[in-house]
Structure 1
Amino acid sequence: MSGIAVSIVSHQHGVLVDSLLHRLSEISSPHVTRVILTQNVPEAMPREPDAGWPFSLEVVRNDFPQGFGTNHNKALKNAREDFFCIMNPDVVLFENDIFERLLHAASSDCAGCIYPRQIDEDGKLQDIERDIPTFFSLLMRYARRRPETGRDWVNAAFLLLPSKVWRALGGFDVRYFMYCEDVDFCLRLRLLGWKLVAAPVTVGHAGQRASHRNARHFFWHVSSLLRLWTSPVFWRAWWKKQRRLG
């Protein structure tokens, strides 16, 4: 089945979800054929536009909160579209032809994951492209407060993937409840020979970084980093990069 299946996970993001869905209904045709909205906690159903949704909207209501990767994996398990799109509910879509341009970028050789630029609420470009997060690189990042220059992984606020790539990777590793699932995913993708491709489009994304302010999120972040640093995926990617640089 051609088209794009979009997966959105809401955690009491009702107002943002409504805004995003209505914007999608304005610009998505004919590319987006299905949207799967997972309500991770109880909240109201989205407000349908007068003309109805131009895509198939499926709403999944969880009995209890589940992790980022688990929710997206379940949402896309039975999707048959050619492309899958992971999208955070706080993403803002500015450009009317965004999906056309993302799909054009996806036509490049070995394109495994296509992503847009992200700007925050002040219009500042977000540093979504990152180096492999070693303990030392993280120390340098926060000590120097400088953007990183590598492109070993990108955040998962907005990703477009050929469905064949998603299936080859088995989706996200659900052992990461929250944080680092995008790092692991991108590293696995690149180890299989696929490329991360930046598309010439821009979206808005606040990038709240809750682990800087919330003890529970900080614990999840540290736990995920420890899991990442002890994983074969991390070390294979790190050694491969060292050989390339050496």
Structure 2
Amino acid sequence: MIDAPAAEADATPPAPAPIPPTFLPEAAKAAEPVVSVLVVSYNTRSMTIACIASVIEQTSVPYELIVLDNASPDGSAQAIAEAFPDLRLIASPENHGFAVGNNVASAGARGKYVLLLNPDTLVLDHAIDRIVGFAERTPEALIWGGRTLNGDRTLNPASVFGRITLWSLFCRTSGLALVFRKSPLFNPEEMGAWQRDDERPVDIVQGSFFLIRRDLWERLGGFDPTFVMYGEEQDLCLRAAALGARPRMTPEAEIVHFHGASSRRAAREIMTLRANVTVVKRHLPAWQRSLGVLLLEAWPWSRMASGGLLARLTGRQGLAEAAEMWGTVWRARADWREGYPPLPHPARKD
């Protein structure tokens, strides 16, 4: 996913009290659904149930809801089945991960559109109706995103972002993106200070709230399973753009996205860099790829060096801890600088 700095982990919502079984409304039983909503969960039982309930409460457009549970050990599949007896639930015996999980869940989708929705989200104010309406008004986009809020209802700008380029990597490594964070020129991946408060074209839509024409999704073969963790929506959007897609974002469709603290920051940055290297090798022009990887390799070193210097000058413990974290990432570069090894994918020509 995005390598731009994301909001720190939010407090997860409280576990809901026991509820009686909820049966799907007529909108979710349409013979010809307009949108297929896919939710892939792992160990997020209470949050997934809250997410499903928000879809049911807030959605009027004809839809189908497909939930795939990735062999959660917390009893998610059973709890979801008990809470929503007529829900289409795929209880996978193995953990497919996010990318493959969505591919499996989408296999029988019937909607004109496919909507990927994270299990740790809540749909606000008819957001699915709104994003489908936006898609109908802007059919040329083929991929659409909305506005994402953190658990405290502050903006999470990572719902959409700019593609990785040689310039964006130079700005990262040189520190320009950090110093001029509000500048779209020097911080193009985060798109500067834009508050995601108006409709506009974007390069990448994050997978937590991601609408795509089903025929395009199928033509692309869904997500590339090479991307084990992070980067899958970057790859998909860039492959779609090569086929003519022009992703767009609307602020009228809002969700809340609660961020779990499931991985340590150094481990998360290592996984993100591995995905970014794969994106660079696959989507930058051939003559730029080696330099792009070198800039990615230099980025954690530059964060370690600058953070360490500032920590010594200011005595701030937080800066010292951040510098140490980036040092851990830098020292582990052998684990990520080659990117992901490719896996077979029908839509990719290796």
TM-score (norm 2): 0.59
Identify the residue that residue 201 of structure 1 maps to in structure 2.
253
1:77 is paired with a residue of what secondary structure? helix
- Deviation of the 1:132 alpha carbon: 1.6
Quickly say closer, same or farther: Cα 1:87–1:77, change in 2 above 3 A.
same
Q: Structure 1: how far apart are the matches of 2:216 and 2:107?
A: 13
Quickly say closer, same or farther: Cα 1:60–1:218, change in 2 above 3 A.
farther
Identify the residue that residue 43 of structure 1 maps to in structure 2.
74
AA in 2 matched with 1:125: L
Identify the residue that residue 136 of structure 1 maps to in structure 2.
170
Quickly say closer, same or farther: Cα 1:109–1:59, change in 2 above 3 A.
closer
1:1-246 mapped onto 2 (5 Å cutoff): 1-44=32-75, 45-47=78-80, 57-95=87-125, 97-107=126-136, 108-128=138-158, 129-134=160-165, 135-139=169-173, 140-142=176-178, 144-146=180-182, 147-149=190-192, 151-199=202-250, 200-207=252-259, 213-231=264-282, 233-235=283-285
Bigger mean CA deviation after superposition, 144-153 or 162-171:
144-153
AA in 2 matched with 1:80: R
Quickly say closer, same or farther: Cα 1:223–1:40, change in 2 above 3 A.
farther
Question: Which structure's residues are more often strand, by fraction?
Answer: 1
Spell out, residue by residue over 1:42-97, the C-alpha distance to the aligned partner (whole angstroms, 9 max, x if none). Answer: 332234688x56xx6222233332232111011101222211110011111120x3
Quickly say closer, same or farther: Cα 1:185–1:120, change in 2 above 3 A.
same
> Unaligned stretches of 5+ in structure 2?
1-31, 183-189, 193-200, 290-350
8 Å CA contact retained: 2:202, 2:249: no
- Deviation of the 1:117 alpha carbon: 0.5
- Deviation of the 1:104 alpha carbon: 1.4
| Rg larger for | 2
Quickly say closer, same or farther: Cα 1:11–1:49, change in 2 above 3 A.
closer
8 Å CA contact retained: 1:8, 1:37: yes
> Unaligned stretches of 5+ in structure 1?
240-246
TM-score (norm 1): 0.82
Q: Structure 2: how far apart are the matches of 1:5 and 1:109?
A: 17
AA in 1 matched with 2:170: F
- Deviation of the 1:142 alpha carbon: 4.4
- Deviation of the 1:186 alpha carbon: 1.1
- Deviation of the 1:20 alpha carbon: 0.9
AA in 1 matched with 2:79: P
AA in 2 matched with 1:205: H
Q: Structure 1: how far apart are the matches of 2:72 and 2:284?
A: 32
- Deviation of the 1:183 alpha carbon: 0.8
Q: Structure 2: how far apart are the matches of 1:173 and 1:137?
A: 28
8 Å CA contact retained: 2:145, 2:206: no
Bigger mean CA deviation after superposition, 35-44 or 167-176:
35-44
Quickly say closer, same or farther: Cα 1:64–1:217, change in 2 above 3 A.
farther
- Deviation of the 1:159 alpha carbon: 0.8
Quickly say closer, same or farther: Cα 1:47–1:131, change in 2 above 3 A.
closer
Spell out structure 1 runs of 4+ moving beyond 6 A: none
Cα-Cα RMSD: 2.7
Spell out, residue by residue over 1:24-46, the C-alpha distance to the aligned partner (whole angstroms, 9 max, x if none). Answer: 22222442223223234333223
Question: Which structure's residues are more often helix, by fraction?
Answer: 2
